[in-house]
Amino acid sequence: MSNDGQAETVILYISHVKFEDNPLYTQFVEQIIKYLDAFLYKASDDARISDVPLQKLSGKVVVLQNQQAYDPVKAAFKAKGIYTFSYYEKGVRAVSDVITFDEYADSSVFKEMANDQLAKFSNFDGGNSELFYLCWTMTPTTSDIVKSALSNGNIVRDFAEESIPGCIIRCQ
């Protein structure tokens, strides 16, 4: 067995959660803990994850959940390796385990999305943020979805073939 990748740090970034008062959210987090427990980074104290040296996170999975989905009942998740993040707001110091800069491009065109994100990364000065989230997400418009549905119904394939030169995806 190879040791390749054992020093990698994986960050699961759970955003846009709408399960705040729903037992499904708790079940979802419990499943993450159940299957990834051996790999989750668990602080021995109440340290914010942003204060932990990257060296200590080597070979671990760090799970970040949106602060909005967090309440005191779920505070027990932190001891199990589930941390909170909040979005960067200029001049505001949030109370979470890490503050992220996260602004997606809102484009369905790969080159526009890529250029937007790389420019934001190049111009990023940190501010109050402790983590830059490179949001490599294309956002289809309603017309993109309708066009895909009317043609062949596979928007994922359409986006991939448009975005990656020479990419051909065969769907069956």
The verdict on 42 and 85 lying in the same domain is yes
The verdict on 91 and 155 lying in the same domain is no
The verdict on 125 and 158 lying in the same domain is no
pTM greater than 0.75: no
- 52-109 per-position pLDDT tens digit: 888 899 999 999 887 765 555 456 788 888 888 888 776 666 677 888 888 888 888 8
**Confidence at 168, pLDDT banded by 50, 70, 90:** low
Domain count, the chain: 2
- 21 belongs to a structural domain: yes
The verdict on 87 and 128 lying in the same domain is yes
- 3 belongs to a structural domain: no
- 6-16 per-position pLDDT tens digit: 788 999 888 77
65 closest CA partner among 21, 28, 117, 120: 28
The verdict on 53 and 117 lying in the same domain is yes
Is the pLDDT at 44 greater than 70? The verdict is yes
Range of the domain at 112: 10-132
Answer yes or no: are the C-beta atoms of 139 and 107 closer than 8 Å: yes
